[in-house]
Amino acid sequence: MIKLQGSLKISGDKSISHRALIFAALSVGESKIRNLLESRDVFATINILKELGIKIRKKSNFWVINGNGTDGFLEPNKALNCENSGTTARLMIGAVASNPISCTFIGDKSLSKRSMSRVTNYLEKIGAETKLTKENYLPLMITGSNNLLPYNHSCSIPSAQIKSALILSGLNIKGKTTIIEKRKTRDHTERLMKYLNLNFKIKKFKNKQTLLELNGPYEIKSKDISVASDPSSAAFFIVGALITPGSKIKLTNIALNPTRIEYIKILKKMGGNIRIKKTRKLCGEDVGTISVKSSKLKGINIDSKLSPLLIDEYPILSIAATQAKGAMTMKGLGELRHKESDRIKSIVINLNKLGFNVEEKNDNITIRYSKTVIKNVKKIRTYGDHRIAMSFSILNLLYKDRILIDDKDCIAISYPKFFQHLKQLQK
C-alpha cells in the first residue's frame, strides 16, 4: 500500500498572496514579493491590477510591484476578469470603490453564481454606485469615488472576504471607518497591515464581537513581503498521512495563523498524531513545522460556531471522517453553499456514490463509519471545485486509483503543484 513519507515545503498561501499583491499595489514605491503562489486565482488578481495601471513583473524568484498609492488606480480599458476567484472579486471590488473610476467585473460560470451583493450592499451605503446582474451576481459595474463616507459597518455574515473588502475601501476614505464582526474570521489582512506599519485599532468585547477601526486616508510605504506556505493546502497531506498506514511526514514554512489551523485541533481531537513547532515570524504571520504520523481516528461533533475557521477544510475533514470509527457530524455548514461549488452537495453526493454512509440535514453533514470497499472504478464530480478534487485525490490513496476525478485541471486554481508534491511524498 502507498504511504506518505518525507519532508515538504508547500507552495505559498493563497489568501496571503492575494492580499500581498493588493497591498503592494496600494503602496507608494516598489515592493518585492517572495514565495507568491503562482496559481490561476492569484494570476487573476495580478492581471486585474495590471489593467488598473499597476506595473507588475516576475524576476528570477520573486515578483516586483510598483504601487501607485491608495488612490492610484487608473480606469481600465476592458472588463476585469476574476475567473474563478471569489477572493479576487470581493477584495478588488472593495479596493476600487474609493477610487474615482468605473469598472466592470466578470468571472467564469462558477463565480458568476456566487453572491456579490454581500459586499456591494455595504459599499453602496458609503457612496459607491454598483449594478449587479440579477441584483446579486457578476457581471458587476461599479463607479467609485474618492469622497466615500466614513461609516460604522456591522457584518452579519462571518466572512474574511467581506471584512477585507471594507478595509480596502476604507484605506482611502477620509475619517473613521469601523467594522464590527460578530464572529471571528481570518485576520491575514490585519496582520499584513500591522507589518506595513498602518495605524488602526482592534477592540475585542466580552460577547466575542470584534471592532476594527481605521482612520484614513492612508499613505502606505512599500515594503518587501514574504508569503508563508499555505496551511489549507497542508491539510490535504496531513489527512493523507493520518489515514494511510505507515505514513510519517514533515511540512515546513507553514503559516500557523490561529484562524487557519483550527482543523488541526479537530484532527487531534479525532486522535491524529500531529505536532506543531513554531520557528519564526514572517511578515506578521507565525510560521513553523507540522509533523504527522498515521493514526487511528474517531468521529467527533464539530460545532457550528467553528465554521468560519474551517470553511476551506470541511471537504478534506469529510475524507478523514470516512476513515474514523463511529460517527462524525459537522454542523452549520450553510456558507459552504457559496464557495466554488455547493460544497455540501459536492461532499454528500460523491461520498454516497462511493458507498460511504453520509447524510445531510439542515446544513449539517453526518458521516458514519462503514468499511467501504471500492471494487470497480467510480467517477466523482468535482463541480469545478479545486478542494473537492484534491480531497478525493487523497481518498484515492486508499483505493488504488479506483476513484476517477472528472476534472483534475481545476486544482490549478489554488495549487498547481499539488500532484507533484503528492508524488514527492509517496513511497
Q: Is the pLDDT of residue 341 over 90?
A: no
Q: Is the pLDDT of residue 338 over 80?
A: no
Half-sphere exposure (Cβ direction) of 323: Cα atoms closer than 13 Å? 25
Give the pLDDT band of residue 337 (cuts 50, 70, 90): confident
Mean pLDDT in residue range 346-372: 95
65, 36, 61: which is closest to 50 by C-alpha?
Answer: 65
Q: Based on the domain organization, do 181 and 246 belong to the same domain?
A: no
- Which of the given ranges, 40-44, 153-157, 368-372, has the highest pLDDT on average? 40-44
Q: Has residue 5 been placed in a domain?
A: no
Q: What is the pLDDT of residue 375?
A: 87
Q: Has residue 3 been placed in a domain?
A: no
Give the number of residues written for the chain: 427
Q: Is the pLDDT of residue 242 over 90?
A: yes
Using CB atoms within 10 A of its CB, is residue 46 exposed (0-12), middle (13-18) or buried (19+)? buried
Which residue segment(s) compose the domain that 98 sits in?
Answer: 14-214
Q: Is the pLDDT of residue 400 over 90?
A: no
> What is the CATH classification number for the domain harbouring 207?
3.65.10.10
Q: Has residue 147 been placed in a domain?
A: yes
Q: Based on the domain organization, do 70 and 150 belong to the same domain?
A: yes
Instruction: Determine how β-strand 80-81 pairs with β-strand 62-68.
Output: unpaired
Mean pLDDT in residue range 375-386: 94
Q: Based on the domain organization, do 117 and 248 belong to the same domain?
A: no
Q: What is the pLDDT of residue 403?
A: 96
Q: Are 69 and 28 in contact (CB under 8 A)?
A: yes
Final residue belonging to a domain, choices 149, 181, 214:
214
Q: Based on the domain organization, do 131 and 185 belong to the same domain?
A: yes
pTM above 0.75, yes or no: yes
Q: Is the pLDDT of residue 411 over 90?
A: yes
**Percentage of the residues of the chain whose pLDDT score is greater than 70:** 100
Mean pLDDT in residue range 251-278: 97
Q: Based on the domain organization, do 30 and 116 belong to the same domain?
A: yes
Q: Based on the domain organization, do 193 and 234 belong to the same domain?
A: no
What is the total count of domains within the chain? 2
- Which of the given ranges, 224-238, 326-340, 361-375, has the highest pLDDT on average? 224-238
Q: Which residue has the higher pLDDT, 81 or 338?
A: 81
Final residue belonging to a domain, choices 183, 214, 245:
214
Final residue belonging to a domain, choices 191, 214, 237:
214
Q: Has residue 208 been placed in a domain?
A: yes
Q: Based on the domain organization, do 201 and 260 belong to the same domain?
A: no
Give the pLDDT band of residue 207 (cuts 50, 70, 90): confident
Catalytic residue selected from 312, 342, 401, 406: 312
Give the pLDDT band of residue 404 (cuts 50, 70, 90): very high
Residue 61 makes CB contacts below 8 A (sequence gap 6+) with 34
Q: Based on the domain organization, do 168 and 98 belong to the same domain?
A: yes
Q: Based on the domain organization, do 326 and 207 belong to the same domain?
A: no
Q: Based on the domain organization, do 56 and 190 belong to the same domain?
A: yes
286 catalytic residue (yes or no): no
